[in-house]
Amino acid sequence: MRQVTIYDIAKEANVSVSTVSRVLNDTAPVKRSTRAKIEEVIQKHNFQPNAMARSLLTNETGIIGVIVPDLTNPFFPEVFAGAEEEAQQSGHTFLLSNTIGDYAKESQYLSILREKRVDGIIFLGGRINLKHCEEHLVQELVQCASVIPTVLVNGALRKTDLVRVVTDESAGTALAVRHLTLLGHREIGFIGGESHMTTTSIKLRAFRKTMKDEGLDVREEWLLPDSFSIDSGKRQMLKLLAMEERPTAVFCVNDYTAIGAIKAATEAGLSIPDDMSIVGFDDIPLAHHFIPELTTVSQQAHELGRTAVKVLKAMMNNEKVKKLTSLEPQLIIRQSSGLRS
Amino acid sequence: MRQVTIYDIAKEANVSVSTVSRVLNDTAPVKRSTRAKIEEVIQKHNFQPNAMARSLLTNETGIIGVIVPDLTNPFFPEVFAGAEEEAQQSGHTFLLSNTIGDYAKESQYLSILREKRVDGIIFLGGRINLKHCEEHLVQELVQCASVIPTVLVNGALRKTDLVRVVTDESAGTALAVRHLTLLGHREIGFIGGESHMTTTSIKLRAFRKTMKDEGLDVREEWLLPDSFSIDSGKRQMLKLLAMEERPTAVFCVNDYTAIGAIKAATEAGLSIPDDMSIVGFDDIPLAHHFIPELTTVSQQAHELGRTAVKVLKAMMNNEKVKKLTSLEPQLIIRQSSGLRS
């Protein structure tokens, strides 16, 4: 069945669209007989007003703009799926922009989304993950957020009080490292992540701290940042394997690098987890289906997306929201980690 | 460095934005001295006009709308990445809409994209993959395409002549089946795919035809459509394994079902490909990194996205384009297929 629109209702009830809108939103009086007629037509078609219809009177577009850095990294589509689920109820729709980690593209999309009059913006990746973000990029986003409700997801801009929704990456890293130490591992490496990104520095700092808390030494030669790709995981695992002394367990900055590390180790004849334990971060959908299944830290991508939309909707309704909403990560123990042999 | 905009150029040259635009696009005469001043500022900043700037005079927005069914299926982000690469040169940007396979959402996004005045639309999934699409859904898209240049990717609408860019799924299926017969397999199964979708019926038809051409019997009980998910691949492989007679090779409708099938077979103690050969379809990025690496048919997702944008740009420039552009799929032989033992 074709979706019935407010236009169809107006036509059938022989009234204007704004009259239907007034009945739907109860924003202005409507003649009793007219109201009855409209309500009859609405009931007949079991009509559900959507965001577009609502916006006719409220001056909202019902559209949320989402800026993401890289849709080919399955973490981001998962966050987005959660956002969509949350928006389903309120009838909001999304315009999604992919920035390929390009700051100029971020600027371009911010300006397009503003021009297209979206009601709110959810911003992921790029400049909000930089250890040092240039001032004009900071100011651009601050300025944007002063006009349009904006939520930063898994990132921050220093010296600003923009609203943020994050997973506690530091706590997640500690969970992973403690899981490995509980399995008896004492020699633990760290693979992946670009050094100028906060996600890398946060995890590296938490890694060092947890190792120290557990009374273990951090071996600097086993700290191998690189990038976030499968290939970088392979590359750094090959480096580890070529060393005279190697760790018995490795914490990887994300699931992609963990998959690369497992692949390289397996190809070199190691059995995972018997010869080496490997833990990832993110819990992308494939982590569960990889062979061996990946032990990882769930960032709760889906919940992150849902929460970002919840917070954004509150902001769009002019409700007061917390500046920081932090989700607890979860350790997901599967097959790629095991007892130190 | 902050990106210099046409506004900055206009300000520094002390002229209006439309004067800068006239110089950039050479659309109307500008006083010689004014032109010289503007060109000096442009050169000084090495300014590259972007689509937004161009659109000030040409009435184009420089924005392409893309409608996809499911971003958590890695095939679609790959197509999109190819589209972005092609658009990079011309400065076009994208607004992406995810429909979750919901026809009402497709309608909603078509209307939003029209309202937001995109210059062109690329449409994937949903109604254009249905064996039987309802007439009002067909007409809606036909009507949209009559106003905005529109390209359908890997789909079709019967009795319409909308512009299409597709991978030849029939040829791809034949490649996969012939690969298996060359390895000596004579008992071959078929897993996955929803029966009401054209991608399933096209592949199933090509499967039957190639088997016949090769002089092999199709065993109806080994044809196991389901859905496109990893879980459906697992589910159907378990069914196969429970049969008294089972095939020595399986063609899967996509990489996700192939991964599920491998997983279920491996967990049941089979070694892939020694005990059974499994071939997928799509060549998603992870196919190459799975253990064992997946033999599959590349749909050339990236090239598909690039080609769609190329065709769309030609349409936006009022050039004549072919109604159908068909890409040749490629067989990618990796580790999950081997000689019949």
B177 and B292 in a single domain? The answer is: yes
Amino acid at B229: S
* pLDDT (0 to 100) of residue B53: 47
Kindly list the residues from chain A whose CB atom is less than 8 angstroms away from the CB atom of residue B289. Answer: 230, 259-260, 263
Three-state DSSP class for residue A69:
coil
* Cα angle, residue B78 at apex, residues B73 and B84 outer, rounded to 5°: 135
Q: Is residue B1 part of a domain?
A: no
Measured in angstroms, the CA of A32 and the nearest CA of chain B are apart by: 31
* pLDDT (0 to 100) of residue A51: 47
Q: Please tell me the distance from the alpha carbon of residue B259 to that of residue B228, in angstroms, as a whole number.
A: 11
Task: Give chain A's mean pLDDT.
Answer: 91
Q: Is residue B333 part of a domain?
A: no
Pairing of strands B223-224, B249-252: unpaired
Q: Is the peptide bond before A292 cis (omega within 30 degrees of 0)?
A: yes
Predicted confidence band of residue B50 (pLDDT cuts 50, 70, 90)? low
Other residues' Cβ atoms within 10 Å of the Cβ of residue A226: 21
Q: Note down the domain range covering A37.
A: 6-57
Per-residue pLDDT tens over the stretch A18-40: 788 778 776 677 888 888 888 88
* pLDDT (0 to 100) of residue B44: 83
Predicted confidence band of residue A49 (pLDDT cuts 50, 70, 90)? low
* Nearest C-alpha neighbor of B193 from the set B281, B300, B306, B305: B281
Residues A64 and A121 sit within 8 Å (Cβ to Cβ): yes
What share of chain B in percent tops pLDDT 70? 94
Other residues' Cβ atoms within 10 Å of the Cβ of residue A114: 15
Q: Does residue A117 surpass a pLDDT of 90?
A: no
* Cα angle, residue A157 at apex, residues A154 and A158 outer, rounded to 5°: 125
* pLDDT (0 to 100) of residue B88: 81
**Which region among B27-36, B49-58, B241-250 has the lowest average model confidence (pLDDT)?**
B49-58
Q: Please tell me the distance from the alpha carbon of residue B70 to that of residue A64, in angstroms, as a whole number.
A: 18
Three-state DSSP class for residue B92:
coil
A255 and A175 in a single domain? The answer is: yes
Note the Cα B22 to chain centre separation in Å.
Answer: 37
Q: Is residue B339 part of a domain?
A: no
A108 and A205 in a single domain? The answer is: no
- The CATH number of the domain holding residue B85 is 3.40.50.2300
* pLDDT (0 to 100) of residue B19: 84
A56 or A2, greater pLDDT: A2
* pLDDT (0 to 100) of residue A2: 54
* pLDDT (0 to 100) of residue A135: 94
A325 contact B CB<8A: no
Kindly list the residues from chain A whose CB atom is less than 8 angstroms away from the CB atom of residue B96. Answer: 71, 95-98
Of A2, A72, A286, the CB nearest to B136: A2
Q: Is the peptide bond before A273 cis (omega within 30 degrees of 0)?
A: yes
A198 and A248 in a single domain? The answer is: yes
Q: Does residue B55 surpass a pLDDT of 60?
A: no
Amino acid at A122: I
Average pLDDT over residues A116-140: 94
Per-residue pLDDT tens over the stretch A73-96: 899 999 999 999 998 878 888 989
Average pLDDT over residues B101-129: 91
The runs of H, that is alpha helices, within chain A are 6-13, 17-25, 32-44, 51-58, 75-90, 103-115, 135-147, 169-182, 198-213, 230-241, 255-267, 301-316
Average pLDDT over residues B235-252: 98
Kindly list the residues from chain B whose CB atom is less than 8 angstroms away from the CB atom of residue A266. Answer: 291
Q: Please tell me the distance from the alpha carbon of residue A116 to that of residue A131, in angstroms, as a whole number.
A: 31
Q: Is residue A337 part of a domain?
A: no
List Cβ neighbours of A106 (8 Å cut-off, separation of 6 or more): A67, A99, A126, A127, A137
Q: Does residue B47 surpass a pLDDT of 80?
A: no
Q: Please tell me the distance from the alpha carbon of residue A138 to that of residue A159, in angstroms, as a whole number.
A: 9
A130 and A271 in a single domain? The answer is: no
Range with the largest mean pLDDT of A54-58, A110-114, A260-264, B316-320 = A260-264
* pLDDT (0 to 100) of residue A58: 53
What share of chain B in percent tops pLDDT 90? 72
B228 and B154 in a single domain? The answer is: no
Three-state DSSP class for residue B267:
helix
B210 and B286 in a single domain? The answer is: yes
Helix axes A51-58, A6-13, angle to 10 degrees: 70
Q: Is residue A93 part of a domain?
A: yes
* pLDDT (0 to 100) of residue A188: 98
Q: Extract the tokens encoding B159.
A: 């009795």
Measured in angstroms, the CA of A286 and the nearest CA of chain B are apart by: 9
Q: Is residue A144 part of a domain?
A: yes
CB contact under 8 A, A71 and B81: yes
- State the sign of the Cα–Cα–Cα–Cα dihedral B328, B329, B333, B339: negative
Task: Give chain B's mean pLDDT.
Answer: 91
Element holding B270 (H helix, E strand): none
B308 and B321 in a single domain? The answer is: yes
Q: Does residue B2 surpass a pLDDT of 80?
A: no
Average pLDDT over residues B122-135: 95
Q: Is residue A339 part of a domain?
A: no
Three-state DSSP class for residue A282:
strand
Which residue of chain B comes nearest to A272, CA vs CA?
B291
Q: Does residue B328 surpass a pLDDT of 50?
A: yes
Q: Does residue B51 surpass a pLDDT of 70?
A: no
- The CATH number of the domain holding residue A31 is 1.10.260.40
Q: Does residue A312 surpass a pLDDT of 60?
A: yes
**Which region among A9-23, B169-183, B320-334 has the lowest average model confidence (pLDDT)?**
A9-23
B86 and B163 in a single domain? The answer is: yes
- List, as ranges, residues 52-91 from B with C-beta within 8 Å of A: 52, 63, 71-72, 74, 77-78, 80-81, 84
Q: Please tell me the distance from the alpha carbon of residue B12 to that of residue A313, in angstroms, as a whole number.
A: 40
Domain boundary among A19, A34, A57: A57
Average pLDDT over residues B270-288: 96
Q: Please tell me the distance from the alpha carbon of residue B278 to that of residue B241, in angstroms, as a whole number.
A: 14
Kindly list the residues from chain A whose CB atom is less than 8 angstroms away from the CB atom of residue B94. Answer: 97-98
Q: Is residue B334 part of a domain?
A: no
* Nearest C-alpha neighbor of B293 from the set A336, A274, A337, A262: A262
Average pLDDT over residues B1-5: 60
Predicted confidence band of residue B52 (pLDDT cuts 50, 70, 90)? very low
A240 or B36, greater pLDDT: A240
A141 and A32 in a single domain? The answer is: no
B91 and B140 in a single domain? The answer is: yes
CB contact under 8 A, A291 and B104: no
Predicted confidence band of residue B49 (pLDDT cuts 50, 70, 90)? low
B22 and B43 in a single domain? The answer is: yes
Distances (CA, A) of B178 to B54, B253, B292: 51, 15, 21
A28 contact B CB<8A: no
Q: Does residue A211 surpass a pLDDT of 80?
A: yes
* pLDDT (0 to 100) of residue B58: 53
**Which region among A10-24, A201-215, B129-143, B235-249 has the lowest average model confidence (pLDDT)?**
A10-24
* Cα angle, residue B146 at apex, residues B143 and B150 outer, rounded to 5°: 95
Kindly list the residues from chain A whose CB atom is less than 8 angstroms away from the CB atom of residue B260. Answer: 289
Q: Does residue B322 surpass a pLDDT of 80?
A: yes
* Nearest C-alpha neighbor of B316 from the set B120, B151, B145: B120
Q: Please tell me the distance from the alpha carbon of residue A287 to that of residue A254, in angstroms, as a whole number.
A: 10
Query: What ipTM was estimated for this complex?
Result: 0.78
* pLDDT (0 to 100) of residue A66: 95
* pLDDT (0 to 100) of residue B249: 98
pTM for this entry: 0.81
Structural domain total, chain B: 3
A113 or B24, greater pLDDT: A113
